[in-house]
Structure 1
Amino acid sequence: MTEDKYAEYTKAQCPEDLTRLFVERSNEGDADGVAALYAEDAVMAFPPGSQTVGREAIRALWAKVLEARPHFTPEPPLPTLVSGDLALTSTPPSDGAGARAQVARRQPDGTWLRVLDQPEFQRPGG
């Protein structure tokens, strides 16, 4: 998979677009489209207890996950925190068990990509 392959996808114009695009592409079973939301050097804290490092590894992971055709429901975002070219986005899961958080980085063209992704964070004792 080349960088050009990912360039064909619609890019996030603001940090909040990343979650919406993730849900849309995941529900379409599009692992390449999901990977296009991540920076080359992104780190995702998944599967639980481990890390997946790099866009290609994240693409491979999502290809396996999406084979089961899970359905993702958009969750209302918490307020985004932005400092320069970094943004922290988060959503509370509908089951109330913890939180999801991502750090995005503004790209030279003004669009945003995820660099850190904590898809599931359980509260202590949760």
Structure 2
Amino acid sequence: MSENEKAMKPEDLTRLFVERANAGDAAGVAALYEEEAVLAYPPGSVTVGRGAIRALWEKVLADAPHFEPEQPLPTLVRGDIALTSTPPKDGTGARAQVVRRQADNSWLRVIDQPEFRPPTN
């Protein structure tokens, strides 16, 4: 993995996240987000901005969790905006990200909902 590798397709963001998170690279994970990105994590909270996202991932990655790659669902692209998603391995809920093409044609996350589970009745 190259620390400077950019996502040249929206789907690359998920792969790069897994690689960087498993390497304990919070700065590299945060670099996958736009400066003012919004991350719906931890559950029930919202983390705003690349700096806050980096600080959050520093805490999470300190425990050395292991992330498994997930097969992406088809990406929906309209111009410079795309919706990416993956189903969690346990088959419940969903993960979804709104991503935007940058001036250099790479892609960064703008809105990230890493875990959504429908309410149970």
List structure 1 segments (4+ residues) > 2 angstroms apart after TM superposition.
none
CA drift of 1:125 comes to 1.1
Report SS of the residue matched to 1:102.
strand
Per-residue CA deviation, residues 56-104 of structure 1 (Å, 9 max, x unaligned), is 0000000000000000000000000001100000000001120000010
Identity fraction in percent: 73
Structure 1, unaligned runs of 5 or more: 1-7
The equivalent of 1:87 in structure 2 is: 82
The equivalent of 1:103 in structure 2 is: 98
CA drift of 1:124 comes to 2.5
The equivalent of 2:59 in structure 1 is: 64
In the comparison of the two structures, how many residue pairs are matched? 119
Report SS of the residue matched to 2:108.
strand
Structure 2, unaligned runs of 5 or more: none
RMSD (CA atoms): 1.0
The partner residue of 1:47 within 28, 42, 45 is 42
**TM-score (normalised: structure 1):** 0.92
Matches of 1:103 and 1:75 in 2, distance apart? 17
Per-residue CA deviation, residues 7-59 of structure 1 (Å, 9 max, x unaligned), is x6211000000000000000000000001100001000001101000000000
The equivalent of 2:17 in structure 1 is: 22
